[in-house]
Chains A and B, each alone.
Chain A
C-alpha cells in the first residue's frame, strides 16, 4: 500500500462551531473527489461523529483532512487527534458497550462501519488518535 497525499488541511476542534466547519470541509472534499451522495453522506457522518467525540469527551483537538491516492484509487483520509483522557478498554468501546461513555462508543463503532479503513490508537491520560479513510468506488 502506497498512499500519497494530494491535499492537506488541518482544522482545530475547540468548539461546536469547529465541529460544523470540519463536517462541511469533509463534505466538500468528498464531493470534489467525486463521491456519490451515499458515500459522501457516510464519510461526512463518520467525520461528524468523530469530531464531536473530540469536542465532547476530550475538550479539544485537531482534525486533519487529506485528499489521498493509492495508485489509481482516490480517497479522503481524516485523522482526529486529541489530548483527552484516552480510552482504557478499546475493544469494549468499539463493540459499542462501554456504559460510561456510551455516546462515544456508538460514535466510534458506528463510524467504523461507514468507512473503508479505520485505525484507533489511544493511551489513557495522553490522548486518542483515530484515522479513517474512504475510497472512491467506480
Chain B
C-alpha cells in the first residue's frame, strides 16, 4: 500500500494534523527549538545513525533486513534524512506524508512495530546523553522536551500505519471470503448456477443477492439456478431473501429457478406464507438444469451413434 493510501485511510487532513499535534502538545515554540537544534543534529547524525544500526544488527532476527553492505549503506542514508527531518522546524501534511512513506516501506518489508519502537527509544537515549553533554541542564531539558514531542508524534503515525495496513488485509480477506462463498457458475450459455451451502445469515443473504444481480448482468444470463440443497436452515429470512432475489433478477429480464427443495423446506416455505408463485422451483438440481436449458432453447438429447454428430 502506498503512502497516499495511508493518508486517506488515516484521514490525515489539516484538522487531523492539528488534533495529533495538540495531543502531543507539539506547538510553535517546540518547532522553533527543533529548528535551532539543527546544527547540533547535523553534527551528530552519523554517530546517532551508526549507534542505531549497531543496536539493530546485534539482534540476529534483524539481520535478514540487512543482507548486505549496500543495503546497510542505503538504509543508513534514509535514516539520516529521517533523523534530520525531525529538526526542520515544520510539521505539516508534507512532513507527515514523508513519514508515511518511510512507514509504508517498513510495513512492506515486514519490519514489526517492536523494532520501530526500539529504534525510537534508542534515538531518545542517544540524544539525551548528547544534549546534556553540550548544553546547560535547563536548555537541554527544554530541547529534549521538544524532541520527545515530535518523536511521539512520529511514533503515533507509524503505529497507525501498521493498524491501517492490517485493517486493509482483513478487508481484502473478507472480500475474498465473500467471493468464495458465492461461487456463481456458468453452466451453459446464459445459464448460471449458484449452489448455496451452509448457514445464511442476513449479511450473507444480502451479499448473495448483490452478487447474483451483478453476475446476471455480466453474463447476460437468461436464467440463474439457485440450489439450496446445501443450506442448513431455511427460515423466514432466507425464504424472504430468495423471493427478493427472484424479484430483482426478474427486473433485470431474467428468470430464477430454485432447486434442492426438500420436503421439509417446502413445508416451511408454504407455512410461512411466502408467495412463491413467481418462482420456478424443482426438487432436484438436474431438473432445474433441464428447465434452464429449455428456457434458452436448448435440450439434452442422447447421442445416436458416431455417424450422426452432435445435435444443436
A74's nearest neighbour on chain B, judged by CB, is B11
B11's nearest neighbour on chain A, judged by CB, is A6
The smallest C-beta distance from A44 to any residue of chain B, in angstroms, reads: 16
Q: Which of B1-25 contact A (CB under 8 A)?
A: 11
* B175 surroundings in chain A (CB, below 8 A): 138
Of listed B11, B167, B170, B171, residue having the most chain A CB within 10 A:
B11
Is the CB of B310 closer than 8 A to any CB of chain A? no
Is the CB of B174 closer than 8 A to any CB of chain A? yes
The CA-CA distance from A6 to B167 in the complex, in Å, is 20
Partner of B167, one of A38, A72, A137: A72
Is the CB of B290 closer than 8 A to any CB of chain A? no
B210 near A138 (CB under 8 angstroms)? no
The CA-CA distance from A17 to B174 in the complex, in Å, is 40
* B171 surroundings in chain A (CB, below 8 A): 138
The CA-CA distance from A72 to B11 in the complex, in Å, is 12
* B270 surroundings in chain A (CB, below 8 A): none
Mask, B245-275, CB within 8 Å of A = 1, is: 0000000000000000000000000000000
The smallest C-beta distance from B244 to any residue of chain A, in angstroms, reads: 10
A38 near B210 (CB under 8 angstroms)? yes
B203 near A137 (CB under 8 angstroms)? yes
Partner of B174, one of A6, A72, A138: A138
* A137 surroundings in chain B (CB, below 8 A): 203
A6-B11, A38-B210 as given contacts; A138 in contact with B203, CB under 8 Å: no
* B210 surroundings in chain A (CB, below 8 A): 36, 38
The CA-CA distance from A38 to B210 in the complex, in Å, is 7
The CA-CA distance from A124 to B38 in the complex, in Å, is 68
Q: Which of B158-173 contact A (CB under 8 A)?
A: 167, 170-171
The CA-CA distance from A36 to B171 in the complex, in Å, is 13
The smallest C-beta distance from B250 to any residue of chain A, in angstroms, reads: 17
Mask, A38-58, CB within 8 Å of B = 1, is: 100000000000000000000
Residues of A participating in the B interface, judged by any CB pair closer than 8 Å: 6, 36, 38, 72, 137-138
**9 residue pairs A–B, Cβ–Cβ below 8 Å:** A6-B11, A36-B210, A38-B210, A72-B167, A137-B203, A138-B170, A138-B171, A138-B174, A138-B175
Given contacts A6-B11, A36-B210, A138-B174, 5 further A-B contacts (CB under 8 A): A38-B210, A137-B203, A138-B170, A138-B171, A138-B175
Nearest 8 pairs of A and B residues by beta carbon: A38-B210, A138-B171, A138-B174, A6-B11, A137-B203, A138-B170, A72-B167, A36-B210
